[in-house]
């Protein structure tokens, strides 16, 4: 009798074990930390966030489009964010939310080089990979930076351009983004270094104005420059928002040829001013590619293929192989060279970005 009972028990145990194995898994709401190693269960998609400076900037939208394309090509989930105002505080709040959401990676275009450090360190301490793109955060706040082009070339070439446009002498001004923006501030430093050359002795930089990458403020800052400096001969706007606003003001006031304009602009927004001659030429890189490269670098960090140290190599999809190089006390990945847009080529580019 005992033997029969033991046999029945053994059969019951086997059946329940088999049933357990075959039982359907609950629908997964897991984050990456809960994924198991069983082959049956699909791994939750890794989450890659990108925070741009602020909303309403077509350049930022293109950059985020490129990031999303890369992340989706690689099978991840892209989370795209931007605050209403281009402030560090607003980005800090978003970083805190993303830490709570347990994302795998935060990429951002910083609104301040240093102010985001505590929040970004907290993210890295929580195991989140952090990188900046377009506008850097300091080296302690990131694992690597994705740089659009050599800042020295960007700064110097814009001064050379405006000086050629104004015929070698006169007053010039800069219309920038925010006063805290790392990318614009670095370019402006290089502009000032270029202006130290004695060949520019007759050129005077009268003011650096800040339109905060907000359309209306950039318009009013341009108007204020024209009012305060009636002899102004040229404006450099190293921001796509600023240069488009200045293009409109100069056009509306009939100042074509009297006040020259150059800087960094989106072909789609600047074509009319380049075609009209208000802005004889300008520069930029491909913002979609900046975002795309950031996506591939983010993925390589999360996969552990790179750590962000000099010499790390990874494949960046359609952009080919890329390498991490030095950048002061930090590291960076370089996209390429700035590109010159003028009346001859703007037609080909205005529908691209």
Smallest gap from residue 151 Cβ to ligand RAM (A): 11
DSSP β-bridge partners for residue 56: none
Per CB under 6 A, 213 contacts ligand RAM: yes
Residues within window 77-106 making contact with ligand RAM, judged by CB under 6 A: none
Cα distances (angstroms) measured from residue 219 to each of 63, 85, 126: 24, 17, 42
Per CB under 6 A, 239 contacts ligand RAM: yes
Judged by CB, which is closer to ligand RAM: 76, or 338? Answer: 338
Residues within window 108-167 making contact with ligand RAM, judged by CB under 6 A: 109, 134-135
Smallest gap from residue 353 Cβ to ligand RAM (A): 11
Characterise 200 by phi-psi region: left (phi > 0), alpha (psi -120 to 50), beta (else). alpha
Stretch that binds ligand RAM, among 23-31, 192-200, 225-233, 234-242 (CB under 6 A): 234-242
Cβ–Cβ under 8 Å, residues 170 and 234: yes
Per CB under 6 A, 240 contacts ligand RAM: yes
Which strand ranges, in their side-by-side order, compose the sheet holding 105-108? 77-81, 47-51, 105-108, 129-133, 144-149, 330-336, 325-327
SS3 99: helix
Smallest gap from residue 272 Cβ to ligand RAM (A): 18
Smallest Cα–Cα separation from 132: which of 238, 50, 239? 50
d(CA 153, CA 24): 59
Smallest gap from residue 83 Cβ to ligand RAM (A): 14
Stretch that binds ligand RAM, among 7-15, 226-234, 235-243, 246-254 (CB under 6 A): 235-243
Stretch that binds ligand RAM, among 51-59, 164-172, 273-281, 316-324 (CB under 6 A): 51-59
DSSP class per residue in 187-237: HHHHHHHHHTSGGGTTEEEEEEEE-TT-HHHHHHHHHHHHHH-TTEEEEEE
Per CB under 6 A, 107 contacts ligand RAM: no
- Residue among 54, 183, 186, 332 that touches ligand RAM (CB under 6 A): 183
Judged by CB, which is closer to ligand RAM: 61, or 171? Answer: 61
Judged by CB, which is closer to ligand RAM: 99, or 293? Answer: 293
- Residue among 59, 292, 349, 353 that touches ligand RAM (CB under 6 A): 59
Cβ–Cβ under 8 Å, residues 144 and 324: yes
- Residue among 264, 282, 316, 333 that touches ligand RAM (CB under 6 A): 264
Rounded to the nearest 5°, which phi and psi values hold at 99? Answer: -65, -45
Cβ–Cβ under 8 Å, residues 97 and 119: no
When CB distances to ligand RAM are compared, the closest residue is 59
d(CA 245, CA 223): 10
Judged by CB, which is closer to ligand RAM: 76, or 83? Answer: 83
Residues in contact with ligand RAM by the rule CB under 6 A: 53, 57, 59, 109, 134-135, 177, 183, 213, 239-241, 264
């Amino acid at each position: 009798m005992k033997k029969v009972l033991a046999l029945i028990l053994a059969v019951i145990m086997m059946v329940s074990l088999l049933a357990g194995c075959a039982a359907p898994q609950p629908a997964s709401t897991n984050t990456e930390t809960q994924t198991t190693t069983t082959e049956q269960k699909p791994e939750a998609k890794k989450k890659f966030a990108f925070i741009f400076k602020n909303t309403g900037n077509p350049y930022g939208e293109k950059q985020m489009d490129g990031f999303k394309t890369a992340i989706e090509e690689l099978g991840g989930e892209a989370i795209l964010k931007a605050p209403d105002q281009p402030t560090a505080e607003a980005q800090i709040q978003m970083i805190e939310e993303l830490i709570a959401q347990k994302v795998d990676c935060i990429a951002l275009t910083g609104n301040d080089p240093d102010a985001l450090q505590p929040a970004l360190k907290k993210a890295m301490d929580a195991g989140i990979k952090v990188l900046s793109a377009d506008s850097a955060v300091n080296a302690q706040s990131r694992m690597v930076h994705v740089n659009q082009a050599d800042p020295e070339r960007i700064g110097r070439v814009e001064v050379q351009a405006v000086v050629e446009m104004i015929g070698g002498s006169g007053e010039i001004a800069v219309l920038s983004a925010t006063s805290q923006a790392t990318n614009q501030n670095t370019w402006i430093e290089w502009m000032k270094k270029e202006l130290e050359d004695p060949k520019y002795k007759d050129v005077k930089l009268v003011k650096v104005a800040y339109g905060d990458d907000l359309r209306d403020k950039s318009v009013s800052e341009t108007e204020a420059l024209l009012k305060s400096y009636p002899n102004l001969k040229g404006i450099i706007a190293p921001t796509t928002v600023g240069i488009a606003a200045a293009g409109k003001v100069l056009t509306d006031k009939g100042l074509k040829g009297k006040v020259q304009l150059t800087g960094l602009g989106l072909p789609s927004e600047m074509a009319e001013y380049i075609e009209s001659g208000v802005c004889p030429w300008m520069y930029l890189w491909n913002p979609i590619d900046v975002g795309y490269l950031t996506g591939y670098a983010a993925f390589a960090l999360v996969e552990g293929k790179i750590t962000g140290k000099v010499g790390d190599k990874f494949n960046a999809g359609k952009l080919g192989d890329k390498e991490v190089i030095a950048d002061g006390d930090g590291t960076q990945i370089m996209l390429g060279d700035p590109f010159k847009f003028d009346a001859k080529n703007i037609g080909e580019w205005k529908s691209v970005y």
